[in-house]
Amino acid sequence: MSDFIVETRGLCKRYRRGAPLALDHLNLRVSRGALFGFIGPNGAGKTTTLRMLAGLLEPTSGEIWIAGHSVVQEPRLIHTYVGYMPDFFGLYQEMTAWEYLDFFARCHNLPPRRRRVIVEELLELVGLAQKRNDDVGHLSRGMQQRLCLARALVHDPQVLLLDEPASGLDPRARVEMRELLRELSAMGKTIILSSHILSELAEICTEVGIIERGRMVAGGPLSWLQNQARAGRVLRLHVVSEVQQALQLLTGFPGVTSVVQVNGGSDPIGAWLEAYLAGDLRAASELLSYLVNHGVAVAEFRQVGNELEELFLQLTAGEVA
């Protein structure tokens, strides 16, 4: 059995003749049980990829396997392995939450007794047991999102494909969705979700793929990508004495490629400096020691920005191979 439950090879999609490729020979691998974050700018091909993985969109060329089965050759079988939650979902507003899930359980041919148990369990799982008799149209945006996630789970799929599941949610609903995804991952589900909220992906994902213009530009375990980001870091320092000496010392330190004063001299005590350092945490520690040993008083010393976000910006701007 392969360690990868989702694989694509040379996956291409062209929506019309003469148009550029929406997906350009995409090679994707997702480990069993992973919580995989799919990152990319608008129009990069995330939704197109998820729809093809779900068997809802036919590829122009290339291959897709879910749990060892070809999506192209066995599209009906694939639907038993995959639960799909689109970014824009249709809801039957006048159904109750219970009726809504029961309807989709019927679509998957679940027997009546099993169907009733599944619907009740899912309402409990997504925190809507108390809303079982409320009309879908009266539920909040966050509750509707959780109901649609429950809908994707009615047939107990191995793989969940979630397109921007936190889109439009307020901070509390976003936290609730994040905790729910963690719980589903702990239950053994493989989850692939697209998102622009990079800080949240860094908190919950075990693997990440970065896509731009239909091509996968980076992918793998989150820890590996974070190490790639750490190869270069922006450090911000609050220097309260010997500012000019600090600038000279930073400029001459091995691995420092640029230094700027970011407060324009407006700080009455010292200055705020930013230095780009090629190196890991040890290099940053050595830089701080170097400054202090040369008489520079450093009141604050920290890294600027989110590592995953920095790597994403570098890669999607074409600055990193």
In the prediction, which pLDDT does 320 show?
40
Amino acid type, 187: M
Which of 159, 191, 221 terminates a domain? The answer is 221
In the prediction, which pLDDT does 321 show?
34
In the chain, how many domains are there?
Answer: 2
171 burial via Cβ count (<10 Å: 0-12, 13-18, 19+)? exposed
Question: Is there a single domain that holds both residue 153 and residue 252?
Answer: no
pTM: 0.75
Q: How far apart are CA 193 and CA 50, in angstroms?
A: 9
For the packed helices 307-316 and 222-230, what is the interaxial angle rounded to 10 degrees? 80
Question: Is there a single domain that holds both residue 282 and residue 169?
Answer: no
Conformational region of residue 24, where left means phi above 0, alpha means psi within -120 to 50, and beta covers everything else: beta
Question: Is there a single domain that holds both residue 82 and residue 183?
Answer: yes
Question: Is there a single domain that holds both residue 263 and residue 179?
Answer: no
Residue 136 within a domain: yes
Cβ-based neighbour number of residue 70 at 10 Å: 13
In the prediction, which pLDDT does 310 show?
65
Range of the domain at 23: 4-221
Listed residue (116, 97, 96) closest to 106, CA to CA: 116
In the prediction, which pLDDT does 260 show?
82
In the prediction, which pLDDT does 229 show?
58
Q: How far apart are CA 132 and CA 125, in angstroms?
A: 12
In the sheet with 69-70, reading across from the earlier edge strand, the strands are: 23-31, 4-13, 61-66, 69-70
Phi, psi of 249 (to 5 degrees): -65, -45
CATH code of 11's domain? 3.40.50.300
Residues listed for the chain:
321
Which of 221, 240, 262 terminates a domain? The answer is 221
Residue 32 within a domain: yes
In the prediction, which pLDDT does 200 show?
72
CATH code of 307's domain? 3.30.70.260
Locate tokens 């692939």: which residue? 192
In the prediction, which pLDDT does 314 show?
63
Sequence-distant contacts of 266-272: CB under 8 A, at least 24 apart? 267/238, 269/240, 270/238, 270/239, 270/240, 270/241, 270/243, 270/297, 270/299, 271/238, 271/239, 271/243, 271/246, 272/236, 272/237, 272/238, 272/239
* Residues with Cβ within 8 Å of residue 59, at least 6 apart in sequence: 11, 12, 13, 23, 52, 72
In three-state secondary structure terms, 166 is: coil
Low-confidence stretches of the chain (pLDDT < 70) are 1-2, 224-232, 263-268, 280, 305-311, 313-321
For Cα atoms 13, 15, 18, give the angle at the middle one, nearest 5 degrees: 100
Residue 321 within a domain: no
What are 154's two structure tokens? 């009615």
Question: Is there a single domain that holds both residue 143 and residue 56?
Answer: yes
What digits encode the pLDDT tens for the residues 123-150?
999 999 999 999 999 999 889 999 999 9
| Residue 300 Cα to chain centre, angstroms | 31
**End-to-end CA separation in angstroms for the chain:** 32
Question: Is there a single domain that holds both residue 277 and residue 149?
Answer: no
